[in-house]
A and B are shown apart, each in its own frame.
Chain A
Amino acid sequence: MKCLVTLLLLLLIGTTLWYFNKSEHFNNAQLVDIQTNNTTPTNQGLAGFSSSTTNIDNIQRNQKLIFKLFMKEVEINNEAKEVLLMKENDIYPFEFLIKNLDEMEVNLQNKIIKNSDPLCADFLKNYCIDDAIEPKSNPSLYNISNADFVYKLDHCFDVCFPYDIEDIRKYRKLLYDTLFDILLRFGVLKNIDGDMNDDTNKNKYHYLINNNNEDSLMIDFDMEAFSRQYSRYDDFVLEIVTLLKIVNLTNQKLISFKNIENDKKSFIKNNFIKEKYKQFAPIDEES
């Protein structure tokens, strides 16, 4: 009899201990983990998209190569630096815009890849925050482990990205087309002579953007327009500064957009814990 009572007691103690160990719903450490779990920003650039065969992508790829060469030229020209560098932040707004767009394009590329993943298709349908900023409250959506949800969130959040490739092309066009148009009009870049596709123009802007298929190119810049002695210096600088103003505003807009996306991600995390915690609380309290 004594043995039977002892066994029964051991069983009860075991059950009690098991119950206390089963504390996933209110484990503080895990709550902190899910709240502070940061994603590493991706900075891979456009490598994945550079093979695009569409005409506009090829033009913009070549424009980027020319832009990089132009910025190298600016780096060694103090007068150009004076016009193009934001001294208070020590950044070139044009370069900063390209960096922002490259990051957006990587996110977009991830979105395209992950859209075909069933796990992420489910995430897009059930967890992304829509324009009404109202997350779904169906309890079954939150009946998964924290670890599974964190994985799903980090793996699939890109599918919530609201931009598409046309938006990115539009921003690139804004910078490249306007900047190079100014540089052509003020003689920093040479205009073509004769047939645009003739070999005699092979080191000129229009030829290169349409015909270059290499990863590097050669082009000459005449930086005289940045010199105060240049006859149309005021007109040139006025146009560049106006473009800088537009690009600065665009950068602020893109940063604001990025912050909204970060807030949405934090919101999804927070809401998951809230809903999951609400879901499991009655079971805990009943016991």
Chain B
Amino acid sequence: MISKVFLCIFFLSILLNMLKTEHFSEYHGLIQNIYDKFNTYYKNQISKKKTQLSKYTKVIDEEINNYNEDFCKNYSNFYKLNFAKTFVDNQKTYMVPDTYKGGSFSSERNECVHPSDPMFKPTLDCSNKFLCKSGLLVSGQNIIKDNKESCVYECI
């Protein structure tokens, strides 16, 4: 009697297993389809947002370019080293460069450029060597002297 009960359970479990497999087969197809669709959805979303990102980059570049053009036109200063204009104060030698205000923006160089003379630079670089009267070659340092950007040299 017990063995008949176990046999019944056995056949029942095989039957259930078969039914389950059929269900799973349909389920698998459905799930696979859903995940395929989600993959496509994410791909499209990423592509779409990448295009949007490129648009932002382009608009930002244009805005920065406009800002730089306005800045160069209205505020940029150019400096040209002029060692003929040096003076000594408190044992230090000062050089006041020639200056020019205004200019245009060069996107290639990403800086303001002087309209005609390339010797005018947008920043004052005092590191070039200066020949002191004593014959000594020294590098200068940037300094504000009498409200003007200048170079100072420690000549002995």
Contacts and interface: CB of A to CB of B under 8 A. Distances in A.
Contacts, number: 118
Interface of B: 2-3, 6-7, 9-10, 13-14, 17, 20-21, 24-25, 27-28, 31-32, 35-36, 38-39, 42-43, 45-47, 49-50, 52-53, 56-57, 59-60, 63-64, 66-67, 70, 75, 141-145, 147, 152
A273 B35 contact: yes
A193 B32 contact: no
Nearest to A131: B50
B7 A133 contact: no
**Which of B3, B9, B66 has the most chain A CB within a 10 Å cutoff?**
B3
15 contacts: A2-B3, A9-B7, A9-B10, A13-B10, A16-B14, A133-B46, A133-B47, A178-B67, A191-B144, A195-B141, A242-B63, A246-B60, A249-B59, A253-B56, A274-B32
Contact of B36 (A10, A253, A256, A274): A274
Interface of A: 2, 5-6, 9-10, 12-13, 16, 19-20, 26, 31, 129, 133, 174, 178, 185, 191-196, 242-243, 245-246, 249-250, 252-253, 256-257, 259-260, 263-264, 266-267, 270-271, 273-274, 277-278, 281, 284-285, 287
A278 B32 contact: yes
Contact of B42 (A245, A263, A287): A263
B49 A249 contact: no
A264 to B, nearest CB: 6
